Amino acid sequence: MTAGDPILERWQERVRAAHAARTPLAIRGGGTKAFYGEPVAGEPFDTREYAGIVDYEPTELVVTVRAGTLLADVERALASEGQMLAFEPPHFAPGATVGGTVAAGLSGPRRPYAGAVRDHMLGVRIVDGRGEALAFGGRVMKNVAGFDVTRLMTGALGTLGIVAEASIKCLPVPRVEATRAFEVSADEGIRRVNEWGGKPLPLSASCFAGGRLLVRLSGAAAAVESAIAKLGGEAVAEGAAFWASVRDHAHPFFASARDGAPVWRLSVRSTAPYADLGGETLIEWGGALRWLVAPRADAAKLRAWAWANGGHATLFSAQERAASALHPLPGPLAGLHARLRAEFDPRGILNPGRMGAVA
């Protein structure tokens, strides 16, 4: 770890003191994902002072960024070189930081085709619960030295360490993107995206809502054109704005959620049949992600349905919590989680309770 950075040294001191005094710390970046996970009570620990792109070399396909950097700033820097973060991370609101993106581990519409946040993570620097500054992974594409702590930190909601810096793989922006729409039933939509997913087509996103299936095609102009010829459908103008609205939950489907209605995130086998779960459903990720806005959803029933379909159900956002946010873990996994947490944060001072019973 680069010794001597004054901000990081201050972070280390602060965590050491919190460790000594058993003071819980509530880590935050831009606060755009504060609704996600369980609420945390603790002294606010704001990462935004540690900001800036440390290194970006387009030919290496890697950007190294401090946690407090605005996601938008990173995306702009990459775009100026014709590159992007292929996992299409949600912002949800202005102010999203890279640290929060990594800690939340949420990916956007391109995820099933390009991979998730964790798939693009090459290295992290963290401050763990003892106040130690540690580096894992690196800035190269392939690295199997040591356990994969980089990916372990991704999506851990800060409970294993404060993400201070991340090295992330970047990819070229597709030359051409086009969005096509199809009028279909939910079941038909699920079937089609799965069938197309098994063909060599340049799919890069899908979204079914209100009887319409939209798919995005990305790649070389000729490839996108020949895919359009095969798939048909009608052209959708303003495709970029549409996918950004799905990514950030600005799509009209989420309108009642903005007034506090609970949003459930059901991550399941892509071929799981459509089910009436007591509310409107929006289906992304080639069928593998189902959003449900359901004021009176039965948590136990949803969790049972998601589990039976190979996945899990998260109470993603809600004004009032009628259930735990995260899907409960089966016994042996819960034990492993608790022991891992104890190794990285023995006194449980980093975002205690953010992952619910898990950490």
Partner 1 sequence: MLPPSVHAQLAAILPGEALLTAPEATRPYECDGLTLFRELPAAVALPDTEAQVVAILRACHAARVPVVARGAGTGLSGGAMPHKDGVVLSLAKFRRILAIDPLARTAVVQPGVRNLAISEAAAAHNLYYAPDPSSQIACTIAGNVAENAGGVHCLKYGLTVHNVRRVRGVTIEGEVVEFGNEALDAPGYDLLALINGSEGLLAVITEITVKLTPKPQFAQVALAAFATIEAAGEAVGKVIAEGIIPGGLELMDQAATRAVEQFVHANYPLDAAAILLVESDGTPEEVSAEMADIKRVLTDSGATEIRVSKDEAQRLLFWSGRKAAFPAAGRISPDYYCIDGTIPRKALSGVLHKIAEWSAEYGLRVANVFHAGDGNLHPLILYDANVPGEADKTIAFGDRILDLCIEVGGTVTGEHGVGVEKLRGACNQFAPAELERFLGIKRAFDPHALLNPGKAVPTLARCAEFGRMHVHGGELKHAELPRY
| Shortest distance (Å) from residue 356 CB to partner 1 | 9
Binding pattern for the stretch 254-293 against partner 1, x by CB under 8 A and - elsewhere? -------------xxxxx-------------x--xx----
Q: Could you tell me the two tokens for 172?
A: 């070229």
Among residues 82, 94, 273, 295, which is the contact residue for partner 1, using CB under 8 A? 82
**How far apart are alpha carbons 24 and 41 in whole angstroms?**
7
The answer to whether the beta carbons of residues 190 and 283 sit under 8 Å apart is: yes
> CA-based angle 248:354:303, to the nearest 5?
70
Gyration radius (Cα) of the chain, Å? 21
327 counts as binding partner 1 under rule CB under 8 A: yes
| Shortest distance (Å) from residue 76 CB to partner 1 | 18
Among residues 205, 326, 349, 350, which is the contact residue for partner 1, using CB under 8 A? 326
348 counts as binding partner 1 under rule CB under 8 A: no
The H-assigned helical ranges of 131-286 are: 149-153, 186-197, 221-231, 239-247, 255-258
19 counts as binding partner 1 under rule CB under 8 A: no
4 counts as binding partner 1 under rule CB under 8 A: no
5 counts as binding partner 1 under rule CB under 8 A: no
Considering only the stretches 22-30, 239-247, 250-258, 306-314, report the one whose residues sit in contact with partner 1 under the rule CB under 8 A. Answer: 306-314
Helix (H, G, I), strand (E, B) or coil at 178: strand
Binding pattern for the stretch 206-245 against partner 1, x by CB under 8 A and - elsewhere? -------------xxxxx-xxx------------------
Considering only the stretches 8-16, 45-53, 193-201, 292-300, report the one whose residues sit in contact with partner 1 under the rule CB under 8 A. Answer: 193-201
Long-range contacts of 298-301 (CB under 8 A, 24+ apart): 299/323, 301/277
Using CB under 8 A as the binding rule, the residues of this chain from 24 to 43 that contact partner 1 are none
* Dihedral over Cα of 221, 248, 269, 290: its sign: negative
Cβ neighbors of 58 (< 8 A, separation 6 or more) are 81, 82, 83, 170
Considering only the stretches 38-46, 60-68, 179-187, 291-299, report the one whose residues sit in contact with partner 1 under the rule CB under 8 A. Answer: 60-68
